[in-house]
Each structure stands twice: as C-alpha cells, then as structure tokens.
Amino acid sequence: MTDTIFALSSGRPPAAIGVMRVSGPQAIAAVTALAGTLPPPRRAALRALDDAGRLLDRALVLVFPGPNSATGEDLVELHVHGGRAVVAAVEAALGRQGLRRAEPGEFTRRALMAGRMDLAEAQGLADLLEAETEAERRAAIDAVEGRVSRAVRGWLDRLAGLSARVEAVLDFGNEDDVGGDAALAGVEQASHALAAELRGVLAAPSVERLRDGVRVVIAGPPNAGKSTLLNMLVERDAAIVSPIAGTTRDRIEAHVVRDGVGYLLIDTAGLTETLDPVEAIGVERAEAAIATADLLLWLDDAPPPSPRAIWVHARADVPGRLEMPAGRDVAVARSAPDSVDRLWRMIAAATEGQMVSADLPVLHDRQRQACQGAIDDLERRSDGDAVMLAEHLRSAHRSLAGIIGVNATEAMLDTLFGRFCIGK
C-alpha cells in the first residue's frame, strides 16, 4: 500500500499562514481524527484541530478526494497559523497517526505516476519554483500549462502516422493502393521535414540559457575602461580597476536582473598582440566570448567586429575624451549616472525578444538531446529499405517520448524531483 505523506507546502515559518498537505490512502482518516467531521469536497471550512484533547490550532480544511486531486490520491490541505510551534505541533500529530514526512518532490512525483501531469509539465513546475527572471517564468508557465507536451505529442502523432504507412508497405506492399516505393519516398520526405522542424526548435535558447540571461560582452583594447564600465553597469566593484594595462587577464562574469530580464555581463582581457603566454590566453578567451555574445559593448576606436554591437565611447569625463567621436552610439562617464541608464536602455532595446520566441517551446538540455537523437534517426538513410526506415522511425519515437516521461528511468526521475521543495 502507498504510504500517506504530509509536508508543509508553503514557505518556511514563521509566516501568516502555513499550508500543510496530506496525501495518500489514510489522508482523510488521519485528518478526521484531528478535525472531526470534514467539510464537503473542495469547500473550505474552519475546524479545530485536536490531538488527544489538546487544541493545536483552528485551521481551514479542504478535502480533495482522489483521483480528481493534484496527486491523484485522497488529498487534504490544512491552512494553519504559520508559527513554528503551530506547524511543528500539527506535523507531530500527523506523525502519530502513522503518516510520514514527504521526500523532496514526492507530491509532484505521485501526480506524475497517477497521470495528473507528464514529465515535461513536472519539469516546468521545477523551473517555475526556481525562476528568477521574467523569461524563465514565462517558459516555465508554458511548460506547466502543457505547451512542450502538446508539441511533443504532435510530433509523436506524426511519427505514428509515418510508421503506419511504412508498416502498410511491409504488410501489403503488393497492393496497388499502398504505393510501394513511392510511399516510402513520401515517408522519407516527411521525416526530413519533421527533422527540419525539430532543428528550428533547437535553434531557440534552452531553459539553461534563459537562466544565464542575455550574454553582454564588454571588449576592446587594454586600458579602454572595460572593467570600469562593468562596475558601473552592475553598480558594484565586480572587477579590479587599475591604470595599468592588462589588469584583467581572464573573463569576469556578473549576473544582473533588470526589469525582469537576466543579463550575464562579461568583462574580457584587452585585445592586443602579446608575447606573454598568460595574457595571450586571456586574449583568446576574449575573442571566444565575442564570438558567442548576444550583444557586444565595443570600446575600441576601430569599428566593432560584429553587427550585434553598441559602440561605446567610454571615460567620457576624462580630459581629451569629452567630445564623443562620430560613429559612436553612446558616451558613458562615471560622473554622469544618467549615461549608464541610457546605455542600459540601449542594451534592453537591442536584445529585446532574443531569449524567448512566442512561436517555439523552450526545452531543457535533456529534452534538446532527445530532440537531437530524433533528428539523427529521421535523417538516417534507409536507401529504400522499409525495415530500416521503420526502425529509424521507432527510434525517433522513443527519443521524443522520453520528453514526456514514457520509459523514463528511475535515476532521471530521482534527479528531477530532488530539485523540488519538500511540500511539492
């Protein structure tokens, strides 16, 4: 028999309210022992929680009979006062009823096992709990609401249809209405079209990239004011500033969230020719950062090497640099805080909409690997061999089905649900 579990699903006490969840076959009986007669399903009612004649608290009680509950089991919520002593007393009373504390993510895992959600939706819920930026929140909500799952099921339906056409050729290849070689050619063409669609999905940023944020790389020659600009943008001393050229020899990264958008600001070593092996490594890393930047803040007198750049006239309050040269996009000075605000507005405008597409689902690295596996299968040559083509389609189907939890391994589930809080 499945254990009955309990946990505090709201924030840690002290708080105004503590929401205790109880799920499993003994949930209703255990809470009845504390609260007496329970209210009708899905209707909140005030009850005195009594343990062996001792009043624990007066709480709102809600009952959700299975299978139409969040976990698919009988589930009861106790909305108690959120003090530490109250929560501890109610937990102790539930423990004396023979219930046990939930493991991290166990409520959501039970929901998955009961078919109340699939693996992609559970992954989205984990992301929602960890979301720090608006882009992360939007992608997580989409996943929780089934956007990823609907996309995957659509791909699986198409694969099932293609497999059926191949099986028809294998079983009834001599029939005129099956099509033989022409039918196989059509299946291969449709397989390649699906692979191209999946490649389009992989071209969008991953969930992990949303967490990192927009990559903004600050680059230019030594002593151009790159580290000073980084410190002004993040409003703290993230990088050492010195008049000595070559102070920054490696990438320095700082994460900033502005207006719900995450930015990863990267200060780089000065771009120069050098015989110093350590400095040369720094230059190589700077060049690599420029190549992968979503946006480049360029501090050189020469034009930017990338069209995705803002040409910054730094140190605009230093004698000899008071006038902004022609071609620059913005002048920035330590003595003019509004100039930094102006640069931030330009950064936001230049990167708006880069991280999330309204048309495509956002996938995790694990989900992206499954898509890539399906692409590899769909693009494999079968040379007109129906048996080989059928196997390629089955393999692609297995890869994509794993995204929504079909044939999910216990180890992968343990890793996912270990990210959840106890009450989820």
Give the C-alpha separation, 107 to 97, whole Å: 19
- Co-location of 109 and 168 in the same domain: no
Band of pLDDT at residue 179, cut at 50, 70 and 90:
low
Q: What percent of the chain has pLDDT over 70?
A: 89
| pLDDT for position 262 | 86
Q: Which of 331, 351, 371 represents a domain boundary (last residue)?
A: 351
418 in a domain, yes or no? no
Which residues, in sequence order, are CB contacts of 345 under 8 Å at separation 6+? none
In a domain, 414, yes or no: no
Per-residue model confidence (pLDDT) at position 247: 47
Of residues 85 and 171, more confidently modeled: 85
Least confident of 31-45, 69-83, 321-335, 407-421: 407-421
pLDDT of residue 414: 59
338 inside domain: yes
Tell me what the mean pLDDT of segment 308-321 comes to: 90
Same domain, 229 and 338: yes
**Is residue 337 located within the same domain as residue 219?**
yes
Does 323 lie in the same domain as 250? yes
pLDDT band, residue 283 (cuts 50/70/90)? confident
Proportion of the chain above pLDDT 90, given as a percent: 56
Residues 158-170, mean pLDDT to the nearest whole number: 85
Residue 422 lies in a domain: no
Question: What is the CATH number for 224?
Answer: 3.40.50.300
Question: How does DSSP assign 268-280, residue by residue?
Answer: -------S-HHHH
For 51-78, what is each residue's pLDDT tens digit?
Answer: 989 999 999 999 999 999 999 999 999 9
Expressed as residue numbers, the domain containing 258 is: 214-351
Q: Residue 177: what residue type?
A: D
Residue 410 included in any domain: no
Q: What is the pTM of this model?
A: 0.73
**pLDDT tops 90 at residue 330:** yes
In this predicted structure, what is the pLDDT of residue 412? Answer: 44
Same domain, 338 and 218: yes
In this structure, the answer to whether residues 338 and 375 fall within a common structural domain is no
- Residues 240 and 314 both lie in one domain: yes
Same domain (yes/no): 227, 318: yes
Mean pLDDT value across residues 213-233 = 91
Question: Considering the domain boundaries, does residue 375 fall inside one?
Answer: yes
pLDDT-based confidence at residue 173 (cuts at 50, 70, 90): low
Give me the pLDDT at residue 90, please: 97
30 and 106 inside one domain:
yes
Same domain? For 269 and 196 the reply is no
pLDDT on residue 136: 85
What is the count of structural domains for the chain?
A: 3
pLDDT in tens, 124-160: 998 898 888 888 888 899 999 999 999 999 999 999 8
Mean pLDDT of 268-292: 86
Q: What is the CATH number of the domain that holds 48?
A: 3.30.1360.120
Q: What is the pLDDT of residue 130?
A: 85
The backbone torsions φ and ψ at residue 407, rounded to the nearest 5 degrees and listed phi first, read 65, 25
Q: 248 or 329: which carries more pLDDT confidence?
A: 329
Q: What pLDDT is stored for residue 243 in this prediction?
A: 52
Residue 383 domain flag: yes
Question: What confidence score (pLDDT) does residue 411 get?
Answer: 46
Neighbours of 39 (CB within 10 A): 15
The CATH code of the domain that includes 381 is 1.20.120.430
Q: For residue 416, tell me if it sits in a domain.
A: no
Please state, in angstroms and as integers, the Cα–Cα distance from residue 138 to each residue in 127, 152, 210, 213, 302, following that order: 10, 19, 10, 14, 39
Average pLDDT for 389-411: 83
Q: What is the spatial distance between Cα 227 and Cα 242, in angstroms, rounded to a whole number?
A: 9
Residues 218 and 346 in one domain: yes
Mean pLDDT of the chain: 87
> What pLDDT does 275 receive?
77
168 or 148, greater pLDDT: 148
Same-domain check for residues 291 and 367: no
End residue of a domain, out of 289, 317, 351: 351
Chain-centre distance for alpha carbon 138: 9
